[in-house]
Amino acid sequence: MEHLELTILGASSAIPLTNRYPSSQFLTLASRHFLIDCGEGTQVRLRANNIGFSRIDRIFISHLHGDHFFGLAPLLSTLHLLDRQKELHIYSPKGLKEAIQQQMKLQGSWLKYPVIFHNLQTDSFQNIYEDERVTVHSFPLKHSIDCFGFWFREKEKPRKMLKSAIEKYNIPPAEIRQIKNGKDWTDEDGNIIPNQELTTDPSSPLSYAYCTDTAPIDELQDYLHAPDLLYHEATFMEEHRKRAVQTNHSTARDAAQMALNVNAKQLMIGHFSVRYHDLDPLLEEARSVFPNTLLAGEGTTYALHPSRKKLKLIER
């Protein structure tokens, strides 16, 4: 069964610790793989979680603070050493290409594989990637520099063909695709068989929204509509609201309110300040507003499976 799978490589803010790492996530949706942010040590965290580097074809960088991209140049260099040949796409604020080129220039080499940089627009909801299975949009957040969120969405799936219908009406393989797309079938006697008798409903498409390093924004509900899983930064607790306002970050309560505003089905909070050794109080603060909340557990993979009754998040 198709599902959404998310591995948290790092969920700490600013300063790496021996047991907590800067922002990075590995997302699989509709059999597509995406690396989201690439803080210091990301390639080590990928290895620790048995994620093959060759699976990474698209990297999304939210903004150019170091804890979100300082791991990128080392990862690109490693891919070079591993003799990567296929192209790599990087979506980021303007300026990242020049920064990476300068780092490569300092070491006297460039990469043997193509790297295509895509600059994000600072003032719009932008479709930045699309194929036959998924779409990815970026949208502006509110931080001290240009910062972006990302919304990954699975497209509507074709209907499921009933094997019994194929056998009953002797439907040739060449016609199955059109029937799965909603077409009725006319049998050998000229009888029209309604599509509902030939197929069943597909599973609901899944979506994942990533919002890090941002003050709470009212505009979020203009960009996101009922994501199955919303990741929202919760750098501080309410007791440190003054600091959150000063730095354009959110509290755990803010994150929960944002989840309510966009009608999220589930909320995951992360990007925790290193001042908090025990993260349970942040979780409790968020759950007081939005009960269906969990912590981003570093080194943990979460699988979200479609269900006709409800969507379940499974910690593995």
DSSP labels for 147-204? -EEEEEEEPPPPPEEPHHHHHHHT--HHHHHHHHTT--EE-TTSPEEPGGGTEEPPPP
Quick check: helix, strand or coil at residue 96?
helix
Q: Token pair 């990128």 is at which residue? A: 72
Q: Give Cα separations from 104 to 56, 67, 69, 74, 111 (angstroms).
A: 20, 20, 15, 10, 8
Q: Give Cα separations from 297 to 17, 21, 103, 258 (angstroms).
A: 15, 11, 32, 20
Q: Give Cα separations from 139 to 79, 105, 221, 263 (angstroms).
A: 29, 32, 11, 17
Instruction: Give the phi and the psi of residue 279 in degrees, each rounded to 5.
Output: -90, -10
Name the residues annotated as catalytic: 67
DSSP for residue 11: -
- For residue 195, the tally of other CB atoms under 10 A from its CB is 17
- State the first-to-last Cα distance of the chain, in angstroms, to the nearest integer: 17
**Burial of residue 311, with CB atoms counted within 10 A of its CB: 0-12 exposed, 13-18 middle, 19 or more buried:** middle
226: region left, alpha or beta (phi > 0 left; psi from -120 to 50 alpha):
left
